[in-house]
Amino acid sequence: MNAFNLIRIAWRALQRNKLRAFLTMLGIIIGVAAVITMVAIGQGSKKSIQDSIASMGSNMLTVRPNSNVAAGARLDATTVQSLTLADVTALQKQARYLSAVSPGISTKGQAINGSSNWPTTIQGVSPEYLDIREWPIKDGIAFSDDDVSTAGKVCLIGQTVATNLFPGGESPVGKIIRFNAVPFKVIGLLATKGENAFGQDQDDVIIAPYTTVMKRILSTIYLQNIYASAVDENSADKAVDEMSQILRASHRLRSTDQDDFLVRSQAELLNTFSSTSQLLTVLLTAIAGISLVIGGIGIMNIMYVSVTERTKEIGLRMSIGARGIDILLQFLLEALLISITGGLIGVALGVTAARLVTVFLSWPTLVSESSILLSFLVCALTGIFFGYYPAQKASRLDPIEALRYE
Amino acid sequence: MAKKILEVQNLKREFRMGTEVVRALKGVTFDVTAGEFITIMGSSGSGKTTMLNILGCLDKPTDGKYLLDGVDIGSLGRNELARLRNEKIGFVFQAYNLLPRTSALENVELPLLYNASVSSHDRRERAVRALEAVKLADRLDHTPSQLSGGQQQRVAIARALVNEPVMILADEATGNLDSRTSYEIMALLQELNQTQQKTIVFVTHEPDIASFSSRTVMLRDGKLMKDTMNENKRSAKEVLAGLPVSDDY
């Protein structure tokens, strides 16, 4: 009895009842297709979240004031004025895990160019901000440290602002626009960044020197944010600790005091989102996995019926020289062929379904090789696991009784 | 002296049914030499079926000896018995036992699939030859449902021949057939017996069928009642020729 003959026997046995074989397969097909599609949807959404977070600058760290208790009343975080330029200087001088630091102060207002106007946000930062955000300039140049020290009335504008203020499509570089009452010269156009992880349009912004925003628009000495970038992704956690220490020292907080600021890293944000989408993936996969198990039980069910129905055939095979092990392997192989063929069809179907989801629902999907390999492996194991008992039952039949079975 | 194919010595077989012991065979002795066409006869309960199971290596005796082609089966395990059945015995059953929706050729090839020493080319060639021997060379691709009862039984005989066994063991092989087709099958078996010297052991309860064999072993109540050479053995071919050409209805 060689392996080739065995495969031939099992294959021919399946051929004799194609419809039944296909119906048995259906459970596995649906199970595998479901697993692959679900994992693809889960992975796709995870990937797109990662990408959009990365688009905000993957090493970026943000400091903002924290709500704090002042004279017994808890103050709203946005009204707390705790960050100053001194903090920025301290960070620039002392931090070892930071490659760039920029103050941040922003306000909403109306941008005007001739007859066009557009409500937008002006973001006052230092030139390093563009490095921190990994934000290239599409046209024109960035402002310089000189512009910062002179509070120069220059700005960079995002694509959305450009589109709305210059509906004719002419280049905005070199033009003068007004933000509220202050005229600004547009010296650069920022590259398109798209939406961030929260769905905000990152291109709806005007970027100007922080000194200009502080002195000419808001007349304040406090900052709303400090932006920084860690030297690399792995040192983000260390950078967060380091920043906290430096800021606590700079704010002269006692060890019993709460932080009056909050440091957020993108990595942290990434983890939060990833764990959410991870949970989603696990849930979806678990549900799909259940359908795979049900498919397996379907195989077992049909194989049991098949063994009973084919008792006489088993008796015949034994009488013409099949050993118990030959019968066992035949039925096991039949189950395996069903599950593997079903698995192959399921993989094809799952990959197609994932594509269709992307095309028709515009959901991001990502079919990973590992999910294909895994579900295929699970399939084969399902076939062996659920095929074994019926096969064993068949192999233990007494040939005499099996031959007489009606 | 021709070679002994079967040696049955004081064969006993007991079954335990709950607390009762049923003695199906109570000590049977006979030999079969190569080239014989022997029928084993007996009514229900005579031990005929038990005898057949033991002769077919599907069952083992409780006591006594059974040698098939010189091999004592009493000492063999399940797998060795399977191998022996595969190489030395060709079964023909009352209900044909062909695999449904499977061509005649593939049905005949089946025993050789369980014999690893036969290549796929040999397998096909031998199956075709066996089908030619039963005059079904033009029905290779027909499935059992496309064949008449007599043709199905001839496929079964081809399947019994294909592994070149030392003995063809037929169990009421004509039981499901009308008399004309029965005679055709008997004529085929007689021909195989005479031209190819196949040893045939035919288990039946019909005296009419037994008259075509050269020897009859009669069992009753688990004992050998009669073991007689058939003096006036009939030729199935002649009987067939004597039948009216067409059925009158």
Q: Does any CB of chain B come closer than 8 Å to the CB of residue A109?
A: no
Instruction: Specify the DSSP class assigned to residue A154.
Output: E
pLDDT at A208 over 90: yes
- Give the position of tokens 């196949």: B198
A328, A391 in Cβ contact below 8 A? yes
Nearest CA in chain A to B165: A320
DSSP secondary structure of A41-91: HHHHHHHHHHHHHHTTTTTEEEEEE---EETTEEPPGGG---EEHHHHHHH
Q: Does any CB of chain B come closer than 8 Å to the CB of residue A181?
A: no
Residue A46: its pLDDT value, please? 82
Q: Which residues contact A85 (CB under 8 A, 6 or more apart)?
A: A103, A221, A223
Quote the minimal CA–CA distance from B119 to chain A in Å. Answer: 10
B33, B7 in Cβ contact below 8 A? no
Distance in angstroms (rounded) separating the CA atoms of residues A17 and A337: 13
Give residue-wise pLDDT tens across range A118-156. Answer: 999 999 999 999 988 888 899 899 999 999 999 999 999
B42, B29 in Cβ contact below 8 A? no
A232, A110 in Cβ contact below 8 A? no
Chain B residues near residue A315 by CB distance under 8 angstroms = 97
Give residue-wise pLDDT tens across range B120-173. Answer: 899 999 999 999 999 999 999 999 999 999 999 999 999 999 999 999 999 999
Query: Do the interacting molecules here have an ipTM over 0.90?
Result: yes
Chain A residues near residue B91 by CB distance under 8 angstroms = 319-320
The pair of three-digit structure tokens given for residue A107, joined into one six-digit string: 């306000």
Task: Give the H/E segment covering residue B25.
Answer: strand B20-33
Query: B91 and A400 in contact by Cβ < 8 A?
Result: no
Q: What is the mean pLDDT of chain A?
A: 87
Q: Is A252 exposed, middle or buried (0-12, 13-18, 19+ CB in 10 A)?
A: exposed
pLDDT at A1 over 60: no
- Mean pLDDT across the stretch A64-69? 72
Quote the minimal CA–CA distance from B249 to chain A in Å. Answer: 33
Q: Does any CB of chain B come closer than 8 Å to the CB of residue A396?
A: no
Helix axes A266-309, A324-361, angle to 10 degrees: 140
Nearest CA in chain B to A16: B101
Residue B159: its pLDDT value, please? 96
Query: B101 and A16 in contact by Cβ < 8 A?
Result: yes
Give residue-wise pLDDT tens across range A270-321. Answer: 777 777 778 887 888 888 788 888 888 888 898 899 999 999 999 999 999 9
Instruction: Specify the DSSP class assigned to residue A202.
Output: T
Give residue-wise pLDDT tens across range A2-42. Answer: 788 888 888 888 888 889 899 989 988 998 898 889 888 88
Quote the minimal CA–CA distance from B218 to chain A in Å. Answer: 22
Chain B residues near residue A17 by CB distance under 8 angstroms = 101
Chain B positions contacting chain A at CB under 8 Å are 53, 56, 58-59, 78-79, 82-83, 85-87, 91, 93, 97, 99-102, 106, 110-111, 113-116, 120, 159, 163
Distance in angstroms (rounded) separating the CA atoms of residues B72 and A231: 85
Q: Choose among A320, A322, A324: nearest Cβ to B91.
A: A320
